[in-house]
Amino acid sequence: MYCDASHKGVGCVLMQERKVISYASRKLKPHELNYPTHDPELAAIVFALKIWRHYLYGEKCHIFTDHKSLKYLGTQKELNLRQHRWLELIKDYDCTIDHHPGNANVVADAISR
């Protein structure tokens, strides 16, 4: 799964064996426009996990994002309540978050705009 966020919206691509299964995107809500940079990226992951739950729950999956700090989210000491809640949701899935350079994350980047 590839996820990305821009200052306007979030976009995600669900893939299996290099083939696209589904695309998803949405505009950022007014209150999300004020989030710090890493929160919309995290919101993109949460959005994707919720809409593709029927595909992903109980399955091993890799989440690719161009925001490197999300890879270390589980080791952060100071998280706000929203980040704690989202981290708990991510832990319900058998997923790993990996960094994927922004210039290589073309599809998710395009649909997040």
Which runs of consecutive H residues, i.e. helices, occur in 4-92? 38-51, 53-56, 81-91
Task: Give the pLDDT of residue 109.
Answer: 55
Domains of the chain and any CATH numbers? 2-111 (3.30.420.10)
- Mean residue pLDDT of the chain comes to 88
pLDDT digits 0-9 by tens, 9-59:
999 999 999 899 999 999 999 999 999 888 999 999 999 999 999 999 999
Lowest mean pLDDT across 45-59, 62-76, 98-112? 98-112
Task: Give the pLDDT of residue 111.
Answer: 62
pTM above 0.75, yes or no: yes
